[in-house]
Amino acid sequence: MTIETAPAKAEGVDTPTPAVRSTTLLARSLRLWRTRIGAVLGLILVLIAIVGPLVAPHASDEFITKPFSSGAASGTMFGTDYLGYDVLSRFLYGGRSILVIAVISTAIGVTLGVVIGLVAAYARNSLDDVLMRLMDVIMAFPQIMLALVAVSLVGAKNWVIIVAIALTTAPRVARVARGAAQPVVERDFIGATEAMGMSRIRILSGELLPNILGPMMVETTLRLTYSISVISALAFLGLAANPDAPNWGTMIQKNQGALSYQPWGALLPIMAIALLTMSTGLIGDGIARTAAGIDRERGDE
Amino acid sequence: MKWFRGGGIAGFIIRRVLLGVLVLFLVSAIVFLSTQALGDPARAILGRDATPDRLAALQKQLNLDSSKLAQYFQWLGGLLHLDLGTSLASSQPVTEVLGDRLVNSAVLVVLAAVISVPISIAIGSYAALRREKIFDTVSSNLMLVLAALPEFVVALLLVILLSFNVFHVFPPTSPVPVGTKPWDYPDELVLPVTTLVIAVAPYVSRIMRASMIEVLESDYVEMARLKGLPERTVLVRHALPNAIGPVFQVIAINLAYLAGGVVVIEAVFNYPGIGLALVDAVTNHDIPVVQALAMLIAAVYVVLNLLADVATILVTPRLRTRL
């Protein structure tokens, strides 16, 4: 992906600065405390979401005792929920779907956005204008609203939620990708690759993309944060694919009525979503700062 | 669009308005297509007891027997006359169903904007002045964390903190009854408005901080200081007006975001605004209401962005001369 050999420095020639590898950027960002805290938090929550179902003391649909019983009364750690199920087990089961849908939809949205942004930046003609106006149209809908409307039309299915989130993520990413790629397109080494007869796809993927990896990694973590927000908010509004399945958003919705006397059913998933979004936010900021630091060292800015 | 330049500020504003109209026109086409092509509202209303006769009658009543294109222009014409059709759930005009709710939501958004913008500009500016000092570190990190939290999580944490579990100060829900106005219940507005303020403040204060730092390092601020102007004058007369330009964009984007953000907040607090109306309409498949709200929120977004672009140009002399 990157240019391995150091290019010869010639006077007055715009030699390409080797793009920073994404792994280098990640490793260097881990020198910052915020990234470390974010990574540890994220790791814990991902572990809970993925391993949770394997270690849960009860099945996700096992009736324990009457709804909203305290821990002592039901013989469980955090009591029972609105259905009389074990809060802890529902919590351990409830993160997986949110996390999986968030990662898939963000990945699709970011890929789509980067492709559109790079094509627009490289085109430098009316195609650029048309693409970006189209992105404006989609961006006129807030993410949560478009997702709500999509769900109302087609039904609360997982693929609908994924498509809605990917579709609303793409234009926002495209804007950033285009902004980051525009100055790169103007540089001499892009002209050189064109002169060498390199194909458009290879220029976009091999030359442009590595040069905007930093901002794109930051954007990806930001978008992942928002995807988690929107997906859990949809479930909170009662629009998860399966309203009876254990899901952190659904748990908050159904158990919030008992917050004053049996808070754990809502409190655990609230904390989990808060810490999960915090962790992606911290990691993103850490990467952004590291990338800015590398740019400063090189004198790009 | 290179043919589309020149004309100074007036030309710029006209261009932006035309672009906005174009975007809204495309938005209306998308809203109409997606709401019409995917479901037959007559079938949705009648549900399981849809006999072919009743279906045909209702389709005629809803004007569904004409061509899609004719329906679209009829709907669009109605929109331009502020006739948004009839709600399928309540059989009342959509404007009547949404009128009060629009006022309620506007109260939330305007209050949140009026409170959050000055606060976050102050926080951002002060953090820039005390760069890398304790206030800057604390506020920057706090804002970073708050920016990441979903609004409904912020809302619920406030409810836990201030209504249920720690303090018992503010009511946990804000169900403004029909016929009354939200400002009759100031204590019920506190939590929803605070949530919205927390949702917006991080973005505005962060961009304000960055913009202020840049301005404080500029030559003209240095010059003003060297002239011996009092620090107060340097900041208020020279630094602040120049730093605030880029902030308009972020404020506009965030206000537009609030128009969408209220959806979930209103659901948390059971506050009868357009957000709750949207959730209800979505649950009831009330397509005219969904269409009207989608157009409304999109229009708010386009208009706010337009205002931000114009305001940015007007307050930034550097950009004005470049037109």
Supply the ipTM of this predicted assembly: 0.82
Distance from CA of B120 to the nearest CA of A (A): 19
| Chain A residues whose beta carbon lies within 8 Å of the beta carbon of residue B302 | 140
Q: Look at A148 and B261 and tell me if their CB atoms are within 8 Å.
A: no
Evaluate if residue A104 carries a pLDDT over 70. Answer: yes
| Helix extents (H) in B130-185 | 134-148, 151-159
| Chain A residues whose beta carbon lies within 8 Å of the beta carbon of residue B172 | 259
Domain architecture of chain B: domains with CATH:
102-320 (1.10.3720.10)
**For residues A4 and A7, what is the distance between their CA atoms, to the nearest angstrom?**
9
Whether A20 is covered by a domain: the verdict is: no
Question: Please, are residues B253 and B305 in contact by the beta-carbon 8 Å criterion?
Answer: yes
Distances (CA, A) of B231 to B134, B219, B228: 21, 15, 8
Q: A199 — contact with chain B (CB < 8 Å)?
A: no
Could you tell me the pTM of the whole model? 0.84
Distances (CA, A) of A281 to A229, B145, B146: 12, 7, 9
Whether A171 is covered by a domain: the verdict is: yes
Q: Give, in degrees to the nearest 5, the angle at Cα B120 between B184 and B306.
A: 85
pLDDT at site A9: 46
Q: What CATH number has the domain bearing residue A247?
A: 1.10.3720.10
Q: Look at A285 and B144 and tell me if their CB atoms are within 8 Å.
A: yes
| Chain B residues whose beta carbon lies within 8 Å of the beta carbon of residue A266 | 156
What is the tally of structural domains in chain A? 1
Residue percentage of chain B with pLDDT more than 70? 87
Residue percentage of chain A with pLDDT more than 90? 20
| Chain B residues whose beta carbon lies within 8 Å of the beta carbon of residue A239 | 282
Nearest to A179 by CA among A204, A205, A216, A210: A216
Distance from CA of A225 to the nearest CA of B (A): 7
Whether A214 is covered by a domain: the verdict is: yes
**For residues B150 and B195, what is the distance between their CA atoms, to the nearest angstrom?**
10
- Of the pLDDT bands very low, low, confident and very high (cuts 50, 70, 90), residue A7 is very low
Give the pLDDT confidence of B55-102 residue by residue, as tens digits: 777 767 666 666 777 778 877 887 777 777 777 777 777 777 788 888
Q: Look at A277 and B157 and tell me if their CB atoms are within 8 Å.
A: no
Q: Look at A229 and B151 and tell me if their CB atoms are within 8 Å.
A: yes
Whether A4 is covered by a domain: the verdict is: no
The DSSP secondary-structure symbol of A274 reads H
Q: A179 — contact with chain B (CB < 8 Å)?
A: no
**For residues B96 and B89, what is the distance between their CA atoms, to the nearest angstrom?**
13
The amino acid present at B288, given as its one-letter code, is P
Whether A36 is covered by a domain: the verdict is: yes
**For residues B140 and B205, what is the distance between their CA atoms, to the nearest angstrom?**
9
**For residues B75 and B35, what is the distance between their CA atoms, to the nearest angstrom?**
12
Nearest to B266 by CA among B282, B281, B277, B257: B277
**For residues A27 and B49, what is the distance between their CA atoms, to the nearest angstrom?**
63
Cα distance between the two ends of chain A: 24
Whether A10 is covered by a domain: the verdict is: no
Give the pLDDT confidence of B31-44 residue by residue, as tens digits: 888 776 555 666 66
Q: Look at A263 and B19 and tell me if their CB atoms are within 8 Å.
A: no
The CA radius of gyration of chain B, in Å to the nearest whole number, is: 24
Using CA atoms in the order B177, B183, B189, B194, what is the torsion angle rounded to 10 degrees?
Answer: 150
Q: What would the mean pLDDT of B157-172 be, rounded to a whole number?
A: 79
Whether A166 is covered by a domain: the verdict is: yes
The amino acid present at B185, given as its one-letter code, is Y
**For residues B189 and B211, what is the distance between their CA atoms, to the nearest angstrom?**
32
**For residues B275 and B254, what is the distance between their CA atoms, to the nearest angstrom?**
16
pLDDT at site A40: 93
- Of the pLDDT bands very low, low, confident and very high (cuts 50, 70, 90), residue B291 is confident
Q: Which of B2, B105, B153 to mutate to test the interface with A (most CBs of A within 10 A)?
A: B153
Region for residue B171 given its phi and psi (left: phi exceeds 0; alpha: psi -120 to 50; beta: otherwise):
beta
Q: Look at B148 and A239 and tell me if their CB atoms are within 8 Å.
A: no
Give the pLDDT confidence of A134-143 residue by residue, as tens digits: 888 888 788 8
* Segment 117-146 of chain A within 8 Å of chain B by CB: 126, 129, 133-134, 136-137, 139-145
Question: Please, are residues A233 and A156 in contact by the beta-carbon 8 Å criterion?
Answer: no
**Which tokens in the block code for residue A183?**
């100055």
Whether A279 is covered by a domain: the verdict is: yes
* Domain assignment of residue A176, given as a range: 29-56+75-298
Q: A237 — contact with chain B (CB < 8 Å)?
A: yes
**For residues A265 and A268, what is the distance between their CA atoms, to the nearest angstrom?**
6
CB pairs under 8 A between A and B: 128
* Buried-state track A81-111, b at ≥16 Cβ within 10 A, e below 16: bbeebbbbbbbbbbbbbbbebbebbbbbbbe
